């Protein structure tokens, strides 16, 4: 049975628009009785748990058949939400789905709010909060890498990783509580060293998890990557080569790109919003001036900036001066297929600042190496040893940082000779911070904020 006396809710669980199949999910104590009114009277329908049954859906007001459907019943507590759940799989016509919902509403069923099914699953202890958040991450995944990490979290890997920490902290707290309650003497020096070492172990584990967020944030949110340079150096050609398709217009005329152009793609599972920009130069052309200004805006909004040069440029010193005004991450010398080279001293000047790659966007030469270099700079040097250790959620990272801070204070308390009561307070706060991640200690406003980001029907 559900731990809470919620009203019965229903929602379309499939994306908006027409489709071969549309699914309506109903959850609550009246889910079965509401569905019975939909079924044609002579069907003799029985709701047998975990069995999908072909049924005719009937409008009880008119007697007309709405549609044919497959109806599946999941009996509480063995359902997604922990309540009685019925799923109706009909044809995916918006009209049909709307009619089914209208009939359900006439029986007293409420329309579900965003994330309400998942919130009930959490509140009814069918999953913890990290698993519920993983559902949203999985639905919103743009790459297979994101989906794989979300699926691991959905299986409870983060929760399992945190459990030994929580158990260890609980054991330490129990010992200190007993010492405070029953023993008036100070801690034995040997015991004190043991306890400090255990806290140091917790600190080391949490530090690794917090550090992994530098990678996890990029994996979850992706990056904005801007290509900048003077006109006609081949930014649009590199833009097309990275995407693997002709998205930007390419001509031999300088100033072809007058505005920023963006397109999503991925590098080894990292979502990237690639931005092609107008060439930077002094100009009297009003439209081109606007384009250059938008280029500067794109640079300020970018997480990663690539400076593009032409291998045959006559005056590379001017390019160097221009790049000095912007935060660069990588330099790319394009048109290597022309058989000309920028002077060695200029290459040396660029290399002294950042990595320099030579490519031919026209021939595709060096593009794979460019992808690899971008990935290496973003992730490679910081790649955690295990995917399960990657923290991708800002809320999780903040809670881990809080726990880490409290543990460091507790360690310092013991080293400084404060009483166990002082250290206990920080240990309790550290344990509470870890509980915030899985939802064991969380206030209602934050719960509502988290689930409001979910889609309706999930």
Domains belonging to the chain, first-starting first, are 9-128 (3.30.1360.120), 144-218+390-439 (1.20.120.430), 224-382 (3.40.50.300)
Report the helix count and the strand count for the chain, using DSSP H and E: 15, 12
Bridge partner list, 54: 70
Stretch (H or E) spanning 295: helix 286-301
* Adjacency order of strands within the sheet including 330-334: 261-267, 270-276, 223-228, 304-310, 330-334, 356-358
77: left (phi over 0), alpha (psi -120 to 50) or beta: alpha
pLDDT given for residue 16 in this prediction? 86
For the chain, residues with pLDDT lower than 70 are: 1-5, 40-45, 179-190, 247-259, 281-289, 313-316, 339-353, 380-389, 442-443, 445
Contact 427, 176 (CB under 8 A): yes
CA distances (Å), origin 239, targets 95, 192, 229, 377: 43, 60, 12, 19
pLDDT digit string (tens) for 402-411? 999 999 999 9
CA 349 to chain CA centroid, Å, is 39
pLDDT given for residue 232 in this prediction? 81
pLDDT given for residue 207 in this prediction? 94
The torsion angles phi and psi of 50, rounded to 5 degrees, stand at 65, 25
Cα 170–Cα 176–Cα 177 angle in degrees, nearest 5: 85
Q: How far apart are CA 227 and CA 237, in angstroms?
A: 11
Q: How far apart are CA 197 and CA 445, in angstroms?
A: 37
pLDDT digit string (tens) for 225-254? 999 888 888 888 899 888 887 765 555 555
135, exposed or middle or buried, with CB in 10 Å at 0-12, 13-18, 19+? buried
Contact 335, 358 (CB under 8 A): no
CA 314, 320, 323, 329: dihedral to nearest 10 degrees? 110
Cα 96–Cα 97–Cα 98 angle in degrees, nearest 5: 90
């Amino acid at each position: 049975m559900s731990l809470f006396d919620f009203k019965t809710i229903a929602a379309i669980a499939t994306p908006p628009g027409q489709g071969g199949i549309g699914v309506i999910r109903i959850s609550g104590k009246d889910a079965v009785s509401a569905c019975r009114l939909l079924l044609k009277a002579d069907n003799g329908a029985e709701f047998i748990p975990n069995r999908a049954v072909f049924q005719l859906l009937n409008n009880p007001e008119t007697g007309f058949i709405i549609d044919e459907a497959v109806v599946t019943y999941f009996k509480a507590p063995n359902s997604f939400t922990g309540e009685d759940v019925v799923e109706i799989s009909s044809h995916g016509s918006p009209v049909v789905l709307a009619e089914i919902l209208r009939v359900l509403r006439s029986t007293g069923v409420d329309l579900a709010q965003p994330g309400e099914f998942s919130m009930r699953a959490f509140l009814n202890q069918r999953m913890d909060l990290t698993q519920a958040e993983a559902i949203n991450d999985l639905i919103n995944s743009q790459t297979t890498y994101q989906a794989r990490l979300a699926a691991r979290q959905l299986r409870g890997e983060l929760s399992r990783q945190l459990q030994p920490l929580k158990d260890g902290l609980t054991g330490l707290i129990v010992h200190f509580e007993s010492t405070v309650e029953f023993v008036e003497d100070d801690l034995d020096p040997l015991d004190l060293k043991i306890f400090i070492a255990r806290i140091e172990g917790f600190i080391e584990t949490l530090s690794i998890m917090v550090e992994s967020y530098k990678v996890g944030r990029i994996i979850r949110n992706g990056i904005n990557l801007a290509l900048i340079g003077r006109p006609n150096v081949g930014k649009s050609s590199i833009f097309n080569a990275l995407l693997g398709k002709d998205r930007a217009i390419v001509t031999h005329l300088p100033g072809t790109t007058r505005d920023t152009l963006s397109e999503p793609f991925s590098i080894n599972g990292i979502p990237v919003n690639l931005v092609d920009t107008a060439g930077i130069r002094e100009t009297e052309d009003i439209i081109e001036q606007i384009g250059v200004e938008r280029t500067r805006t794109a640079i300020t909004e970018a997480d990663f900036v690539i400076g593009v040069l032409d291998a045959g440029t006559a005056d590379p010193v001017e390019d160097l001066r221009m790049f000095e005004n912007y935060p660069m991450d990588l330099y790319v010398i394009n048109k290597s297929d022309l058989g000309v080279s920028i002077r060695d001293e200029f290459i040396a000047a660029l290399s002294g600042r950042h990595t320099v790659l030579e490519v031919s966007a026209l021939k595709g030469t060096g593009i794979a190496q460019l992808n690899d270099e971008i990935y290496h700079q973003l992730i490679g040097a910081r790649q955690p040893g295990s995917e399960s250790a990657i923290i991708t959620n800002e809320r999780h990272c903040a809670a881990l940082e809080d726990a880490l801070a409290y543990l460091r204070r507790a360690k310092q308390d013991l080293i400084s000779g404060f009483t166990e009561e002082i250290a206990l307070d920080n240990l309790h706060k550290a344990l509470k911070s870890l509980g915030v991640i899985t939802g064991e200690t969380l206030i209602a406003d934050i719960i509502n904020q988290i689930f409001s980001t979910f889609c309706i029907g999930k």
